[in-house]
Amino acid sequence: MTRKPTRQDVLIAVAALIALLPLTAVIALSSIPAPAAWIVLVLAVVAHAALVWRRAHPLGALLVISAALGGEVVVTGLFFLLPSSLVFVIALYAATAYGTRWPPLSIGLAGSAAAAARYAADPSIVDSGFGPAPWLLFLLFAAVVLCAWTMGLLRRAQLLTTRVAEERAAAERRDHAQRAALAAYEQRARISRDMHDVLAHSLSVIIGQARVARFDAARAGAALGVIEDTARDSLHEIRGLLRDIRDDGPGARPRPQPTLAELPELIEQARALGSDVTQSTQGTPVPIGSAAQLAIYRFVQESLTNVAKHAHAGAAVAVTMRWERGQLTVNIANDRVRARPRPDTVEPGMGLQGMGERLRPIGGTVIIDDANEGEYSVTAIVPSTVATQQEFTE
């Protein structure tokens, strides 16, 4: 609620002043003795001025207007015939709508009783026998007060409904902004993981083949060909990732992602680097979602890259895929690992952290086992049922 009148408040008060005060002046000056008539006009001007504050300070404006009308009541028992008395009804409505609920009603009923009592005690009215009975006048005043109060309650409920709707809309906008920020963060994290996987794997292949070309002239041509193909494929994938950043939005077509069908090619690349990789499959394969296939592909890619970086040349690597009821387990174990730091200094790298980040959204887990001396093993477990995959991918 505003603390000072708005332009609309001023315009309404001026309109009421122009419409009601001139007629009030004519009636007062023609029916009330001059000193009392001028007092009534001054009090009417005060009431009209207070109407400007009907929304900024509704209860305060109502009290000022009630005091002004109370002064008019003291002067004449026929004050209710003055048009400016309608200002009280407007103020009572505004105090109910924009202020408190019960005080305006109490003020209105008390004023009605006081006005009826003054009417009954006015000597000029008693002597003339003019007008209705005081109790009928009280009922009339009370009915007007109740109508104004009821309309104020309706306006109050309307304002409350509007405010609740605006707060709900603001909360929805904040929630939408938070979801957009979270989606942007997840997109950046995904691109960062993909960039790491692509660069780490391709650079490991390039370094290994460059070493072959350097020390084995007979295989230099083939090694350079592998380097060229690997660099070209990596450049293609990086361009695709950058295109995802530029074209991420409604209508953008998703870039094709690796699947389990491309694992043999990945294993052949690891063998070209000198690793003795064997692959075995246990159980009956079942269809799984594209998100799970991508996660498994990246898991195997990162594991083979780690072998190329941390294991001796010619290290034996076993890739085992075990299809069980409701889950797929992929284990990659290699021997002849170089000396590693002591356990209290080991920290997970980006690759190992990325494995967990990829598998968690599809309900998977990563298990790292380096307890056996001379052997290192990583295991990925993901749900393999169609229903579970649909649930996670949605």
Contact of 237 with 297, CB cutoff 8 Å = no
Q: Which position has the token pair 């294991």?
A: 311
Per-residue tens of pLDDT for the chain, all 394 residues: 447 889 999 999 999 999 999 999 998 888 888 888 999 999 999 999 999 999 999 999 999 999 999 888 888 877 888 899 999 999 999 999 999 989 999 999 999 998 888 888 877 666 666 667 888 889 999 999 999 999 999 999 999 999 999 999 999 999 988 888 888 777 777 777 777 777 777 787 787 778 777 877 777 887 788 788 778 877 877 777 777 666 555 444 555 678 888 888 888 877 877 778 889 999 888 888 888 888 888 888 888 877 777 767 677 888 999 998 888 999 998 875 554 444 443 344 556 677 777 788 888 888 887 766 667 788 999 987 644 444 444 4
pTM of the model: 0.54
- Residue 309's Cβ-side half-sphere holds a number of Cα atoms within 13 Å equal to 15
Give CA–CA dist 81/95, Å, rounded.
23
Element at 172 (helix H, strand E): helix 134-215
Alpha carbon 126 to its chain's center: 69
Cβ of 150: how many Cβ atoms within 10 Å?
13
Where exactly are the structural domains of the chain?
Answer: 7-131, 259-394
Q: Could you say which of 2.60.40.10, 3.30.450.40, 3.40.50.150, 3.30.565.10 is the CATH number of the domain covering 259-394? A: 3.30.565.10
What is each CA distance from 306 to 1, 211, 276, 337, in whole angstroms? 64, 17, 14, 10
What is each CA distance from 232 to 198, 210, 226, 366, 376, in whole angstroms? 12, 15, 10, 31, 31
Distance between start and end Cα atoms, the chain: 45
